Amino acid sequence: MIKKGLYIFMALMVTVALTACGGKEANSGGGETTIEFMHSSVEQERLAVINELVAKFEAENPDIKIKQVPVEEDSFNTKTITLASAGKLPAVLEVGQDFAKVMDKDQLIDKEAVQHVLDAAGADNFYEGALKLVNTEDGNSFTGVPISGWVQGIWYNKEMLASQGFEEPNNWDEVLAIAKAFTDAGNKKFGIAIPTVEGGFAEQAFSQFALSNNANILDGNGQLNINSSEMKEALTFYQELAKYTMPGSNDVTEVKDAFMNGSTPMAVYSTYILPSVYQEGKAADIGFAIPTQKTKAVFGTVSALTISSGLEDDQKKAAEKFVEFMAQPENMTSWVLMSPGGAQPVNKLVIENETYQANEVVKAFGELSAEIAASYNDIQVFGLVDGKNFLKMGDITSSGAIPKLINAITVGGKSIDSELNTAEKSLQQILDKKIIYR
What pLDDT, in 10s, does the model give residues 206-220? Answer: 999 999 999 999 999
**Which superfamily is assigned to 151-299+381-431 in CATH?**
Periplasmic binding protein-like II (3.40.190.10)
pLDDT at 208: 97
> Is residue 106 scored above 50 in pLDDT?
yes
List, for residues 273-329, the tens digit of each pLDDT value. 999 999 999 999 999 999 999 999 999 999 999 999 999 999 999 999 999 999 999
Q: Tell me, yes or no, if the two domains 6-148+304-365 and 151-299+381-431 fold the same way.
A: yes
30 falls in which pLDDT band (50, 70, 90)? low
What pTM value is reported for the model?
0.89
List, for residues 130-182, the tens digit of each pLDDT value. 999 999 998 899 999 999 999 999 999 999 999 999 999 999 999 999 999 99
Under a CB-based contact definition with an 8 Å cutoff, are residues 111 and 136 in contact? yes
Under a CB-based contact definition with an 8 Å cutoff, are residues 106 and 11 in contact? yes
> Is residue 358 scored above 90 in pLDDT?
yes
Say if residue 204 is exposed, middle or buried (CB neighbours under 10 Å; 0-12, 13-18, 19+): buried
> Is residue 16 scored above 90 in pLDDT?
no
Amino acid at position 64, single letter: I
Question: Cα(336)–Cα(333) distance, rounded to whole angstroms?
Answer: 5
Say which CATH topology domain 6-148+304-365 has. D-Maltodextrin-Binding Protein; domain 2 (3.40.190)
| % pLDDT > 70, the chain | 92
3-class secondary structure, 416? helix
From 5, 4, 10, 7, select the one nearest 82 (Cα to Cα). Answer: 10
Domain range annotation of the chain: 6-148+304-365, 151-299+381-431
> What are the φ/ψ torsions at residue 276 (nearest 5 degrees)?
-70, -40
- Tell me what the mean pLDDT of segment 385-402 comes to: 91
Mean pLDDT of the chain, nearest integer: 92
> Is residue 381 scored above 60 in pLDDT?
yes
pLDDT at 27: 53
Under a CB-based contact definition with an 8 Å cutoff, are residues 194 and 205 in contact? yes
- Tell me what the mean pLDDT of segment 66-85 comes to: 94
Contacts 24+ apart (CB under 8 A), 224-233: 224/424, 224/427, 224/428, 224/431, 226/420, 226/423, 226/424, 226/427, 227/420, 227/421, 227/424, 231/420, 232/416, 232/417, 232/420
List, for residues 234-269, the tens digit of each pLDDT value. 999 999 999 999 999 999 999 999 999 999 999 999
